[in-house]
Amino acid sequence: MLQVQNLTRTFGDKVAVDNVSFDVPSGQMTGFVGANGAGKTTTMRMIMGVLSATSGDVLLDGAPLTALARSTFGYMPEERGLYPKQPILDQLIYLGQLHRMSQSQARKGAMDLLERFGLGGRTKDKLESLSLGNQQRVQIAASLLHKPNVLILDEPFSGLDPVAVDSMVELLRERTSAGVPVLFSSHQLDLVDRLCDSMVVLQQGKVIASGTGDALRARAVNRHRITVSPDAGWVRDEPGIRVLDVAGPTAVLEFDDDDARQRLLATALTRGSVEEFAPIRPSLSEIYREVTAV
């Protein structure tokens, strides 16, 4: 498990990352979300040691991170960083060798990844001659080539078409199945929903929510859908609830507490038949919107 503990980074008077703590559990995908400028990239840079922390620590399996441990990580930086004018296979082999792979291992691994990303026929092409999405695929290949034991990915999905997203998801799942902790930042909340076991929400440099999907949902509001016969309009007059929507027989409600929920159900039963009364399981993206709402 990767643990971020009380990380802080200031730039002059600006506190970009403010006492941030969260865990990235082994074998799980953790989505790192927050508005532009919230501090995600700065946090990831500190995890990778490419930016020093003003204070705080990063631990891997309980031990402070060393440069050697970090060299086994896979990192996709925001600024990307491959060479535009070099053939893509050559530079992947070079990067693999920097990660102590043999030339033949690196060639085989790079070819495998390029083929999975549909770039098997372009190995001799310069990076700059590829479309932006394809360049992104090569960047992903670079971060995965040496079978890293931790993955830190800064917006890995931006600019990818749906087929590339699926290839990427498959590759990431292979890594999590091998026990690797994966942290990725994204503004694509639908993907965070689809992929993540856990989520960390940053706002103005501070963590405002974090945890597994289930833990975050447990903290979320008590929201239910009720369908009655013939019409649900009467719910508007009930105490202890907020009516979010009423459409004919169906209403979406939030309850102040469990008593209000029981009262509402009892009232509904005295008024007629209740076809449905069920909690609405919020998606991670809904939780994100809720916790970041001003």
Ligand X SMILES: Nc1ncnc2c1ncn2[C@@H]1O[C@H](COP(=O)(O)OP(=O)(O)OP(=O)(O)O)[C@@H](O)[C@H]1O
Binding site for ligand X (CB under 6 A): 11, 14, 16, 34, 36-42
What SS3 class is residue 84?
coil
Kind of pairing, strands 250-255 and 29-33?
Answer: unpaired
Q: Which is nearer to ligand X, 16 or 241 (CB)?
A: 16
Q: Which is nearer to ligand X, 11 or 83 (CB)?
A: 11
Closest separation in Å from C-beta 16 to ligand X: 3
Q: Which is nearer to ligand X, 39 or 74 (CB)?
A: 39
What SS3 class is residue 5?
strand
List residues bridging with 150 in a β-sheet: 73
CB 14 within 8 A of CB 66: no
Amino acid at 73: F
Closest separation in Å from C-beta 172 to ligand X: 20
Q: Which is nearer to ligand X, 34 or 74 (CB)?
A: 34
Q: Which is nearer to ligand X, 157 or 255 (CB)?
A: 157
Closest separation in Å from C-beta 157 to ligand X: 13
Q: Which is nearer to ligand X, 38 or 144 (CB)?
A: 38
Distance CA(273)–CA(206), nearest Å, equals 47
Q: Which long-range contacts (CB under 8 A, 24 or more apart) does 169-175 make?
A: 169/194, 169/195, 170/116, 171/113, 171/116, 171/140, 171/144, 172/29, 175/144, 175/147, 175/148, 175/151
Amino acid at 61: D
Closest separation in Å from C-beta 270 to ligand X: 51
**H or E element in which residue 137 lies:** helix 132-144
Closest separation in Å from C-beta 183 to ligand X: 13
Closest separation in Å from C-beta 57 to ligand X: 19
